[in-house]
Amino acid sequence: QKEVEQDPGPLSVPEGAIVSLNCTYSNSAFQYFMWYRQYSRKGPELLMYTYSSGNKEDGRFTAQVDKSSKYISLFIRDSQPSDSATYLCAMSAARNTGTASKLTFGTGTRLQVTL
Amino acid sequence: DADVTQTPRNRITKTGKRIMLECSQTKGHDRMYWYRQDPGLGLRLIYYSFDVKDINKGEISDGYSVSRQAQAKFSLSLESAIPNQTALYFCATSDLYRDTQYFGPGTRLTVL
């Protein structure tokens, strides 16, 4: 079983819809959670960063972490065709030394927002 | 100018050839990473370096080697390329205290 599971999609939604993207994980040591967006033929770019449980909002994007269920979500409101991309979740464990850890990535969900 | 650059962007080569992919960064980060991305498999870590004198294997290092020439430069070599090394390769950087990584634009490598 992979440490991080993510439905590959594709997920197709009409413009203006609310999109929900999710990842589950098995490692209870994960404390830092990220969402990356990757357009076709481009490198992943950081979209959201959260620590521990709770919600974080940035414009049309909301990241949600439920550590008790080992489940994280990214919500996109008023989705636009420009949101069409692959979304990867990533996470890392708590560290004892104070320095950063490596990331574990999900395989990515491909999103298509249609006109 | 991009903070993380990769050269070449595209490369087609033949089985058995030696290939070097190069990565440079202007973000001033200490940590650098090489990943490969394959459909359905996501990003897999090949090697990472936490500073110039530190090199570590990732989950799929067989068939690859790296060199950290300077804080800003990290090269990936395929000593004898084989077709199943056909993939999209990404370099990434991060600083010492935050987990967030910043990716280059990728190199599309095809081994015939």
CB B106 to CB A41 under 8 A? yes
In this prediction, residue B100 carries a pLDDT of 86
Residues B17-34 have pLDDT tens digits of 999 999 999 999 999 999
Q: Which two tokens stand for residue B100?
A: 């967030």
Question: In 10 A of CB A18, how many CB atoms?
Answer: 12
| Per-residue pLDDT at A63 exceeds 90 | yes
Whether the CB-CB separation of B97 and A98 falls below 8 Å is answered with: yes
Give the residues of chain B that fall short of pLDDT 50. none
CB B99 to CB A101 under 8 A? yes
Q: Which two tokens stand for residue B111?
A: 């081994």
3-state helix, strand, coil in chain B (%, to 5): 5, 60, 40
Chain B residues near residue A107 by CB distance under 8 angstroms: 40-42
Chain B residues near residue A86 by CB distance under 8 angstroms: none
**Distance of alpha carbon B88 from alpha carbon B105, whole angstroms:** 10
**Distance of alpha carbon A21 from alpha carbon A108, whole angstroms:** 10
Residues constituting chain B: 112
CB B40 to CB A107 under 8 A? yes
In this prediction, residue B4 carries a pLDDT of 96
The candidate with the shortest Cα–Cα distance to B90, out of B18, B25, B13, is B25
Q: Please state the φ and ψ torsions of residue A83, each to the nearest 5 degrees.
A: -80, -10
Burial class (CB in 10 A: 0-12, 13-18, 19+), A99: middle
Residues A75-90 have pLDDT tens digits of 999 999 999 999 999 9
Whether the CB-CB separation of A14 and A113 falls below 8 Å is answered with: yes
